[in-house]
Amino acid sequence: MNTEEIKSLTQKYIINSYGTRSLTLCRGEGVNVWDTDGKQYLDFVAGIAVNQLGHCHPKLIQAVEKQLHTLIHVSNLYYIEPQARLAQMLCELSFADKAFFCNSGAEANEGAIKLARKYAHTHYGDNKFEVITLLNSFHGRTYAAVTATGQEKYQKGFEPLVPGFHYAELNNLDSVKALISERTCAVMVEPIQGESGVHPCTPEFLQGLRDLCNQNKALLIYDEVQCGLGRTGKMFAYEHYGIIPDIMSLAKGIAGGLPMGAVLTTDEVATAFTPGSHASTFGGNPVCSAAACATIQTLLEDNLLENTIQMGNYLVKSLKKLQEKYSLITEIRGMGLIIGAQLDRPGTDIMTMCMEEGLLINCAAQTTLRFVPALIVTQEDIDKAMEILDKVLSQVS
């Protein structure tokens, strides 16, 4: 099927909730993808921080292929061996004692919110249900998740939203203190806000949230959907801070490109979910679980966390050189391989021009160029990307 045929079918049969699409990508290998016309692109989007191992990694393919020949799906009415192994891996690598599996980041955040409310209801009664999140946060598109998202543009037209959500300011502890009360069951934050343009929490802010939650018998939830699973150079972003949550949501990179989400929590909090209180037909599916196990094993065995730190530092250094050359870059933010280059203008045209030159990047919050390449990225890949970006910036400055 050629490009025009795919485009025609898409326009005819798929609801247009994504706007105009620029490319028809048909093949990927490592950090590169190709379109249906055979043009090659250096992929610094990685499925929006999903393809941690790049495209079609041999270890991931081997694990998925083996599971496809063994057992594809049986549902959670039964024990599932790769799901059990994955839960063990995640818990042993993190603060958590228990895991719940689902299919996406939004579902993981829905699960985290439900768990927090159920825990509060069980221990403190009906009036402790409010959740504090942050302005400019992004937690997903389902109803509770989009309500938790502190951006009106994602909520417009879907009112009335889920009651009981309040929005504080990133790195402003006083704004949280002004909202927290005996009705608060949880505070939910991204350690690094991704969709708003790569804005990390400060250690002081997270420690303040931890203290406030302890004082008010509320749970602290970390949304690590985008910044977890090695993206920052540690398996989980909270490890950089040493400040432990009660619940953590994961998705995106967890299964190397297959759809999966997870909610991790402690033994105590996990007791709030009893049989029948929460479920997912496809959650922890054998194939996705096998992919996740292979992804995590590869991150560890191939020293990709260390590579993420080294390449992230190199990417920041390279971007700062461009910042010195072009005044339209006003700030470089991020951690590991989730990096944002703040512009003094909208970045959509720059993103498009980079694509035309063979580099795929993303524009977040209109004015931030976001770089989230696969964690296998090399110095040579980064040099090539910066060469293209340099060429583009020279044309728009």
Cα–Cα nearest to 369, from 288, 392, 383: 392
Residue pair 345/365 in contact (Cβ under 8 Å)? The answer is no
Mean pLDDT for each 10-residue chunk of the chain (397 residues)? Answer: 92 93 95 97 98 98 98 97 98 98 98 98 97 98 98 97 98 98 98 97 98 98 98 98 98 98 98 97 98 98 98 98 98 98 97 98 97 98 98 95
pLDDT at 158: 97
Residue pair 70/78 in contact (Cβ under 8 Å)? The answer is no
Which architecture does CATH list for 71-301?
3-Layer(aba) Sandwich (3.40)
Give the domain ranges of the chain: 3-56+303-396, 71-301
pLDDT at 21: 87
Residue pair 77/275 in contact (Cβ under 8 Å)? The answer is no
pLDDT at 339: 98
CATH of domain 3-56+303-396: 3.90.1150.10
- Residue 136 dihedral angles phi and psi, to the nearest 5°: 70, 10
Cα–Cα nearest to 233, from 179, 304, 326, 330: 304
Q: How far apart are CA 130 and CA 165, in angstroms?
A: 6
* pTM (predicted TM-score): 0.97
Q: How many Å is the Cα radius of gyration of the chain?
A: 21
Q: How far apart are CA 250 and CA 255, in angstroms?
A: 10
